[in-house]
Amino acid sequence: MKNQFLIVLSFIILSSCAGNIDQNAAAGIEEQEEYIIRYDRPDASILRGVYIPKGKEYFYTSGIVAPVIDENAVAGTYERYGNTYEQSIGTLERIKETIAEAGFKMEDVIFLRVYLAPDKNGKVDWNAWFNAYGQYFNNAENPSKVARSTIAVHALANPELLIEIEAVAAK
């Protein structure tokens, strides 16, 4: 009799717990994971990957390019938009401004897809991009790293442009 009572009591307790879980689900209440997890590569300036738990906000940019830095420069010259480094800085500043409009910061950026085009001599200036990246990520001011793909392409839509970046932010 005592064993039967314990079995019935256990069933009632378990049923009431399941009922609370079902009520929470029916009410739209979910347990939410709290933190974005960045899978680090200590030996690199970029991440291996990023895990974003359910319920976080995202912001995706389109491909962003550098602003004109000298409107009086002759079209077709790099003085108009700058070299790869200057274009990289200008593009990252535009990303910073764009994501800020939606309430995000550079610390919230989790992914970059970077397209680099060669200059008129056929050279892709990888180091210029890497140096610009280091001014915005993985530093004392913003220790966050991002997952990133950097791809060399034959050309961008405007032949004066040497870099285009897509960004994803989450918080």
Q: What is the pTM of this model?
A: 0.79
Q: What share of the chain is helix, strand, coil (3-state, %, to 5)?
A: 35, 20, 45
Q: Is the pLDDT higher at 76 or at 15? A: 76
Q: Kindly list the domain boundaries of the chain, sorted by start residue.
A: 1-31, 37-170
- Mean pLDDT in residue range 85-97: 98
The span from the CA of 153 to the CA of 171, in Å, is: 31
CATH number, domain 37-170: 3.30.1330.40
- Mean pLDDT in residue range 115-140: 96
Q: What is the pLDDT of residues 51-80, one digit of tens each?
A: 999 999 999 999 999 999 999 998 888 889
Residue 127 has pLDDT above 50, yes or no: yes
The span from the CA of 134 to the CA of 142, in Å, is: 10
- Mean pLDDT in residue range 136-144: 94
The span from the CA of 94 to the CA of 103, in Å, is: 14
Question: What pLDDT sits at residue 75?
Answer: 84
